[in-house]
């Protein structure tokens, strides 16, 4: 995916003001709340978004997930890049 490759590995992604990841019991999981939008976050997406604190680089986020889930690095990198690009295009993430 050429678009996904556009995420710089040294970026420190974070949720902007007005975008919040919350765990909601009534809806049985994680939801991403944004202006006029609600997104159900699957467990993988939630784990990625939780790490978008503005402190960690994309590389660090990927490393952390690889270690936490014993997953292949290229697969994790692809998932993370695709999600971050998707969120950034919707103005739900700052890079």
Q: Of 10, 28, 43, 70, which one interacts with other proteins (CB under 8 A)? A: 28
Name residues contacting other proteins, limited to 45-74 (CB under 8 A): none
What lies within 8 Å, CB to CB, of 16 at 6+ separation is 91, 92, 93, 94
Rounded-to-integer distance, Cα 94 and Cα 69, Å: 25
User: Judged by CB under 8 A, does residue 44 bind other proteins?
Assistant: no
Sign of CA dihedral 14, 19, 25, 28: negative
Size of the site for other proteins (CB under 8 A): 24
Q: Of 24, 53, 55, 67, which one interacts with other proteins (CB under 8 A)? A: 24
User: Judged by CB under 8 A, does residue 37 bind other proteins?
Assistant: yes
Q: Which of 54, 59, 51 is nearest to 10 (CA)?
A: 59
The CB-of-52 to other proteins minimum distance in angstroms stands at 16
Rounded-to-integer distance, Cα 5 and Cα 20, Å: 25
The residues binding other proteins (CB under 8 A) are 16-20, 22, 24, 26-29, 31, 33-40, 88-91
């Amino acid at each position: 995916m050429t678009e996904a490759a556009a995420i710089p590995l040294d970026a420190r992604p974070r949720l902007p003001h007005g975008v919040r990841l919350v765990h909601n019991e009534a809806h049985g999981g994680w939801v991403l709340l944004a202006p006029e939008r609600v997104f159900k976050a699957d467990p993988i997406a939630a784990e990625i978004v939780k790490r978008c604190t503005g402190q960690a680089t994309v590389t660090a986020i990927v490393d952390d997930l690889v270690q936490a889930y014993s997953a292949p690095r290229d697969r994790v990198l692809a998932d993370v890049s695709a999600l971050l690009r998707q969120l950034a295009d919707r103005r739900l993430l700052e890079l």
